[in-house]
Amino acid sequence: MSVRGDMSYETILFDVRDGIARLTFNRPGQLNAFTRKMHEEVRAALDQVQATPDTRVLLLTGAGRGFCAGQDLGERKRECDDPPVDLGESIELYYKPLIQRLTKMPLPVVCAVNGVAAGAGANIALACDIVIATRSARFIQSFVNIGLVSDAGGTWILPRVVGQARALGLAMTGGSLSADTAMQWGLIWRSVPDDEFQREVEELVTKLAAAPALAVSAAKRAVRGCWATSLDEQLDLERDLQQKLGFSSDYAEGVAAFRAKRTPQFRGR
Ligand code: T3D
């Protein structure tokens, strides 16, 4: 089945096919930096994802040699009389809801980091559920290089995942982290050789599109929610999720397929 977005976009490419929604940041001349227009188009595409039944996975990636260089600094240049832009407003209206949406939407969000990911671009990638990067990609908390602080969730995710020492090193120096090191530090799922990247990404999203959607969604909810719960609360949540999944058709199909030694056909129910 091929469902194309019925809206036309200027700054992104968007397509839903065979249960896979593909959203490509498409401002390669600016390393896919975010303008207001791009935020609005990404938001509209995510609305489409959530309104398209049977979408099983969302893939984010970038066109050209970069993934995303964060905020477009062309939108922030000022003539001498211009008042400063209120960056808090920009974050409240655009970056914060985007991170909240990516982390909370029930379907899995895969980020294919095809090149440099800087500023909010790095932290948008790190907010995705599974991050796969080309070996030549770099992750840069470049905010400090222009006099800002890491945003888009960077100061939350980095210390939790890589520890305070590395989080502070990254956020205070604005230094570049290779994809291999990001993988070794547990920031991303995989770093793969550039010539295997596209094939690996396709295999991953195809696998997720065929996976039992309710179980995948439950895994996302449980793992993402664990930071705010005690072990006892988490054990209760696992019980409740498992109880629900135990009544699902996909579980019945999974067990039947295992016993019949055949590939299961999951329907997300
Ligand atoms: O403002 C708010 O709303 C608050 C929220 C802020 C969130 C943020 O993301 S703040 C951080 C903003 N981003 C940056 O500071 C990153 C700036 N870019 C870079 O540091 C470097 O470009 C990279 C390290 C990402 C890549 O370096 P390199 O050498 O591979 O490429 P380049 O030559 O610097 O960039 C290529 C082109 O992309 C270049 O254009 P040109 O000269 O060929 O016409 C460059 O200007 C453009 N570009 C890169 N980043 C941005 C950009 N254009 C606009 N905005 C950018 N962020």
Instruction: Say whether both 188 and 224 belong to one domain.
Output: no
**Is residue 267 domain-resident?**
no
Nearest to 249 by CA among 215, 206, 219: 215
Instruction: Say whether both 253 and 161 belong to one domain.
Output: no
**Is residue 116 domain-resident?**
yes
Residue nearest to atom 2 of ligand 1 (CA): 87
Mean pLDDT, range 45-51, rounded to an integer: 96
Task: Tell me what pLDDT residue 5 has.
Answer: 52
Mean pLDDT, range 56-66, rounded to an integer: 98
The domain boundary residue, chosen from 180, 195, 210: 210
Residue nearest to atom 52 of ligand 1 (CA): 30
Contacts (Cβ under 8 Å, ≥6 apart) of 237: 222, 225, 229
Instruction: Say whether both 42 and 141 belong to one domain.
Output: yes
Identify which has the larger pLDDT, 154 or 4: 154
Angle, CA of 57, 124 and 93, to the nearest 5°: 105
The confidence band for 30, taking pLDDT boundaries of 50, 70 and 90, is very high
CB 192 within 8 A of CB 200: yes
**Is residue 76 domain-resident?**
yes
**Is residue 206 domain-resident?**
yes
Compute the chain's Rg from CA coordinates.
19
> Measured from the CA of 120, which atom of ligand 1 is nearest?
9
Measuring from each residue's beta carbon to the nearest atom of ligand 1, which residues come in under 6 Å? 30-31, 33, 69-74, 76, 87, 90-91, 95, 116, 118-120, 140, 142-143, 145-146, 148, 151
**Is residue 60 domain-resident?**
yes
**DSSP code of residue 35:** P
Instruction: Say whether both 149 and 201 belong to one domain.
Output: yes
> Measured from the CA of 72, which atom of ligand 1 is nearest?
55
The confidence band for 3, taking pLDDT boundaries of 50, 70 and 90, is very low
Task: Tell me what pLDDT residue 6 has.
Answer: 55
The confidence band for 1, taking pLDDT boundaries of 50, 70 and 90, is very low
**Is residue 148 domain-resident?**
yes
111 Cα to the center of ligand 1, angstroms: 20
Instruction: Say whether both 186 and 137 belong to one domain.
Output: yes
pLDDT reading at 239 higher than 50: yes
Q: How many domains does the chain have?
A: 2
Task: Encode pLDDT of 136-147 as tens digits.
Answer: 999 999 999 999
Q: Rounded mean pLDDT of the chain?
A: 96
Beta-bridge partners for 161: none
Instruction: Say whether both 187 and 238 belong to one domain.
Output: no
Task: Tell me what pLDDT residue 80 has.
Answer: 78
Q: Within 13 Å and on the Cβ side, how many CA atoms surround 227?
A: 8
Mean pLDDT, range 166-174, rounded to an integer: 98
> Measured from the CA of 118, which atom of ligand 1 is nearest?
25
Q: Sheet containing 2-4: which strands, arranged edge to edge?
A: 2-4, 12-17, 20-25, 57-62, 109-113, 130-134, 190-192
140 Cα to the center of ligand 1, angstroms: 11
Instruction: Say whether both 133 and 244 belong to one domain.
Output: no
**Is residue 265 domain-resident?**
no
Pocket test for ligand 1, best of 25, 27, 30 (most atoms within 8 A of CB): 30
Instruction: Say whether both 77 and 200 belong to one domain.
Output: yes
**Is residue 233 domain-resident?**
yes
Instruction: Say whether both 203 and 141 belong to one domain.
Output: yes
How far is residue 68's CA from residue 192's CA, in Å, rounded to a whole number?
Answer: 19
Residue 256 maps to which CATH number? Answer: 1.10.12
The domain containing residue 105 runs over which residues?
Answer: 2-210
Length, in residues, of the chain: 269
69 Cα to the center of ligand 1, angstroms: 5
Torsion of CA 33, 34, 36, 42, to 10 degrees: 130
Structure tokens at 160: 């939790």
How far is residue 73's CA from residue 79's CA, in Å, rounded to a whole number?
Answer: 13
Instruction: Say whether both 94 and 195 belong to one domain.
Output: yes
Nearest to 136 by CA among 72, 181, 187: 181
Task: Encode pLDDT of 184-236 as tens digits.
Answer: 999 999 999 999 999 999 999 999 999 999 999 999 999 999 999 999 999 99
Q: What is the percent of the chain where pLDDT is above 70?
A: 98
Instruction: Say whether both 93 and 198 belong to one domain.
Output: yes
Instruction: Say whether both 160 and 61 belong to one domain.
Output: yes
Beta-bridge partners for 22: 15, 59
Mean pLDDT, range 88-110, rounded to an integer: 98
Residue 44 maps to which CATH number? Answer: 3.90.226.10
Helices 154-162 and 164-173 meet at what angle, rounded to 10? 140
